[in-house]
Amino acid sequence: MQGQAQSQILQGGSVVLKMTEQPLTSVGLLELAHREYQAVDYENAERHCMQLWRQDSGNTGVLLLLSSIHFQCRRLDKSAHYSTLAIKQNPLLAEAYSNLGNVYKERGQLQEALENYRHAVRLKPDFIDGYINLAAALVAARDMEQAVQAYVTALQYNPDLYCVRSDLGNLLKALGRLDEAKACYLKAIETRPDFAVAWSNLGCVFNAQGEIWLAIHHFEKAVTLDPNFLDEAI
């Protein structure tokens, strides 16, 4: 009997851990390692991954998870090593290029990071996390217009990603495109009415436009939803 599972986990940049079809016992072990990873139990997650890898060195799901574990533990060389092994096993594995891009971005090698992220989304045009990673790297490289396009593409595939839409709003706000930023925050609030960050950001836009009372209203709403915003409002 065979099973198939897929899990998505965020790590600094968005990292996708994709399980391939394996015998049920292997899938069960990999699922256990995923749960341990999500619980920040990296030691046991790595131990179970290595146990499974010794049984099946070509399991790209294990290689991707190992690359993510080592990334979280700041062992960047090992993270890159396992991503590279995954690519050798499957040169079309978009998630492996994205993980490798995260390593390059963390090292400050933005050009190499961008190349890997772009290759990832070329391989998998609906790879939402790939576009989010690409956008963050483009912002770091000061290519704001291309970053906007990367966020827009991610949202075309999933319009309900309210955090991504808020990030796009922040970018548009930084570019002085306040009406577009406002539309992003409003859409984020429509999707998630209790998203305090969007209420606060919307208040910032109204403040920048001289709409003081509207700004105050939105700041107050943000504080009501999350008292941590009180300092920002003050």
Q: Given phi > 0 = left and psi -120 to 50 = alpha, else beta, which region is 74? A: left
Give the residue among 38, 67, 62 at the shortest CA–CA distance from 48. 62
User: Pick the residue with more confidence: 23 or 218?
Assistant: 218
pTM metric for this prediction: 0.81
Instruction: Read off the pLDDT band of 133 (50, 70, 90).
Output: very high
Do 108 and 37 fall into the same domain?
A: yes
Same domain membership, residue 104 and residue 188: no
Please name the residue that has the structure tokens 């993270």: 79
Are 92 and 203 contained in the same domain?
no
Q: How confident is the model at residue 128 (pLDDT cuts 50, 70, 90)?
A: very high
Please check whether residues 99 and 2 belong to one and the same domain.
Answer: yes
| 124 is a domain residue | no
60 SS3 class: helix
Domain assignment of residue 223, yes or no: yes
Q: How many Å apart are CA 230 and CA 49, to the nearest integer?
A: 44
- Based on the domain organization, do 109 and 194 belong to the same domain? no
Model pLDDT, residue 213:
94
> So what's the pLDDT on residue 204?
94
**End position of a domain, from candidates 117, 146, 165:** 117
Helix (H) or strand (E) holding 57: none
What pLDDT score was predicted for residue 134? 98
Query: Is 111 found in the same domain as 220?
Result: no
In sequence order, the β-bridge partners of residue 16 are 8
* Segments in 41-161 forming alpha helices (H): 42-55, 60-72, 76-89, 94-106, 110-123, 128-140, 144-157
In a domain, 94, yes or no: yes
Q: Bigger pLDDT: 23 or 161?
A: 161
173: left (phi over 0), alpha (psi -120 to 50) or beta: alpha
In a shared domain, residues 98 and 185: no
Question: Is 127 within the bounds of a domain?
Answer: no
Instruction: Tell me the per-residue pLDDT of 72-100, one tens digit each, with 9 for 90 and over.
Output: 999 999 999 999 999 999 999 999 999 99
Assigned domain for 128 exists = no
Please check whether residues 87 and 188 belong to one and the same domain. no
> Is 48 domain-assigned?
yes
Q: What is the pLDDT of residue 2?
A: 38
State pLDDT tens for residues 144-197: 999 999 999 999 999 999 999 999 999 999 999 999 999 999 999 999 999 999
217 phi, psi to nearest 5 deg? -55, -45
Domain assignment present for residue 66? The answer is yes
Which runs of consecutive H residues, i.e. helices, occur in 159-211? 162-174, 178-191, 196-208
Counting the structural domains of the chain, the total is: 2
How many percent of the chain have pLDDT more than 70? 87
Based on the fold, state whether residues 210 and 101 are members of the same structural domain. no
Query: Do 2 and 97 belong to one domain?
Result: yes
Q: Is the pLDDT of residue 202 over 60?
A: yes
pLDDT at 28 over 60: yes
Which residue in 87, 142, 150, 147 sits closest to 121, CA to CA?
Answer: 150
Instruction: Tell me how far CA of residue 19 lies from CA of 69, 180, 224, in angstroms.
Output: 15, 38, 41
| Number of other CB atoms surrounding residue 67 within 10 Å | 29
Where among 78, 102, 117 does a domain terminate? 117
Mean pLDDT calculated for residue range 30-45: 91
Classify residue 6: in a domain, yes or no: yes
Cα-Cα-Cα-Cα dihedral sign, residues 211, 217, 220, 225: negative
Looking at 91, 117, 143, the residue that finishes a domain is: 117
Q: Is the pLDDT of residue 132 over 90?
A: yes
Question: Do both 97 and 207 map to the same domain?
Answer: no
Task: Return the pLDDT at 72.
Answer: 95
Q: Which residues contact 88 (CB under 8 A, 6 or more apart)?
A: none
Which range of residues forms the domain containing residue 110?
1-117
Place of tokens 């139990």: 41
CA dist., res. 229 & res. 72, Å (int):
29
CA-CA distance, 1 to 211, in Å (whole number)? 63
CATH at 229: 1.25.40.10
